[in-house]
């Protein structure tokens, strides 16, 4: 079993089924302690090796819609997004805390 259904041999269809039961998913970015901020929206740094040789390209962010998790719909995220139920919110705040009126829909 894997956290985001990334291991194809053990993919569990109930992950997607449960996520698709949501009325809306509102991940938010620009939290002060989340790096990269886009990881709040299922994004990440690109994988190819950079000049430091650590296997992470900090110059390029792979967006949610470019991720295999999204493209292959491992957890139902693409289905939820295509039905208009993923709302990306940007809010300058501490992680998990977004004051009323402080965020903006993207």
If we measure between CA atoms, which residue out of 34, 21, 51 comes closest to residue 92?
Answer: 34
Predicted local distance difference test score (pLDDT) of residue 100:
55
pLDDT tens, N- to C-terminus, the chain (106 residues): 678 888 888 888 998 999 899 888 877 655 566 677 777 788 888 876 545 555 566 678 899 999 999 999 999 999 999 999 988 877 665 555 555 554 444 4
Asked if residues 61 and 39 have their Cβ atoms less than 8 Å apart, the reply is no
Predicted local distance difference test score (pLDDT) of residue 106:
45
């Amino acid at each position: 079993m894997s956290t985001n259904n990334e291991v194809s041999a053990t993919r569990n269809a109930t992950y997607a089924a449960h996520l698709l039961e949501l009325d809306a998913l509102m991940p938010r970015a620009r939290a002060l302690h989340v790096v990269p901020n886009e990881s709040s929206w299922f994004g990440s740094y690109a994988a190819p090796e950079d000049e430091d040789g650590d296997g992470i390209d900090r110059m390029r962010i792979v967006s949610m819609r470019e991720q295999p998790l999204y493209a292959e719909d491992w957890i139902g995220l693409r289905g939820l997004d295509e039905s208009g139920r993923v709302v990306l919110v940007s809010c300058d705040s501490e992680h998990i805390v977004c004051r009323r009126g402080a965020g903006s829909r993207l």
